[in-house]
């Protein structure tokens, strides 16, 4: 028998995200790609936000903004809680 280290399987959440037909390849490329792919992913997210504004008007813009509020709060809370010495 040989000692071969097998790679850990991906968590179920990541496998589910990567299995999405439209966003899956973009998320996988942003996570596993280089710095440019992360920048392109961010640009694509902003363009989807603009497209929702064109399709549904102010409701499309505000719906995504309302989803970003808890994310911003969690980000600020994480900075406050875990940046101390």
Q: Please give the Cα distance from 2 to 5 (Å, whole number).
A: 9
Q: Please give the Cα distance from 85 to 75 (Å, whole number).
A: 18
This model's pTM is above 0.85: no
User: How confident is the prediction along the chain (85 residues), in pLDDT tens digits per residue?
Assistant: 567 777 777 778 877 877 877 778 888 888 888 888 888 888 988 998 899 999 999 999 899 889 889 999 999 999 999 887 6
pLDDT of residue 18: 78
| Angle of the 24-32 helix axis to the 12-19 helix axis, nearest 10 | 130
Say which residues have a Cβ less than 8 Å from residue 38's Cβ, sequence separation at least 6.
Answer: 30
Q: Please give the Cα distance from 11 to 33 (Å, whole number).
A: 18
pLDDT of residue 85: 62
């Amino acid at each position: 028998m040989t000692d071969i280290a097998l790679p850990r399987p991906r968590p179920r959440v990541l496998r589910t995200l990567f299995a999405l037909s439209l966003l899956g390849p973009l998320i996988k490329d942003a996570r596993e790609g280089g710095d440019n792919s992360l920048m392109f992913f961010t640009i694509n997210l902003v363009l989807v936000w603009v497209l929702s504004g064109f399709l549904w008007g102010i409701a499309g813009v505000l719906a995504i903004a309302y989803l970003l509020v808890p994310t911003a709060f969690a980000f600020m809370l994480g900075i406050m809680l875990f940046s101390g010495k």
